[in-house]
Amino acid sequence: ELKVEQNPLFLSMQEGKNYTIYCNYSTTSDRLYWYRQDPGKSLESLFVLLSNGAVKQEGRLMASLDTKARLSTLHITAAVHDLSATYFCAVVRYNFNKFYFGSGTKLNVKP
């Protein structure tokens, strides 16, 4: 069974600061996803990472993947209040179609 661990689970930060969320997974994976979830809402896809060394950036968020270390990071640059949400990573093995989600990181950016 593939296990996905995120840390930290809770993150409170000031606007303008930088921080990184970590996602570790237990066995080989072909794809890694990052999602955002606002309270009471569904999951919004942020990034799909497909290969070792993949890096994707959108606005203040940058995601990277190290398949050898089985680690993905979501880096937040100069955080703003609008980024407050819960962020999930999810891992899937090719042709298995089951997404294995981490527990989520609840981010609160204080103005």
Partner 1 sequence: GAGVSQTPSNKVTEKGKYVELRCDPISGHTALYWYRQSLGQGPEFLIYFQGTGAADDSGLPNDRFFAVRPEGSVSTLKIQRTERGDSAVYLCASSFSGTGYWDEQYFGPGTRLTVT
Q: Of the candidates 54, 100, 94, 60, which has an alpha carbon nearest to the alpha carbon of residue 77? A: 60
Q: At its nearest, how many Å lie between partner 1 and the CB of residue 105? A: 10
Give the binding-site size for partner 1 (rule: CB under 8 A). Answer: 23
How many C-beta atoms surround the C-beta of residue 23 within 10 A?
Answer: 26
Helix (H, G, I), strand (E, B) or coil at 76: strand
Are the C-beta atoms of residues 89 and 23 closer than 8 Å to each other? yes
Footprint of partner 1 on 37-76 (CB under 8 A): 41-43, 45, 48, 50
Q: Which of 12, 27, 52, 103 binds partner 1 (CB under 8 A)?
A: 103
Which residues bind to partner 1, rule: CB under 8 A? Answer: 4, 30-31, 33, 41-43, 45, 48, 50, 88, 90, 94-104
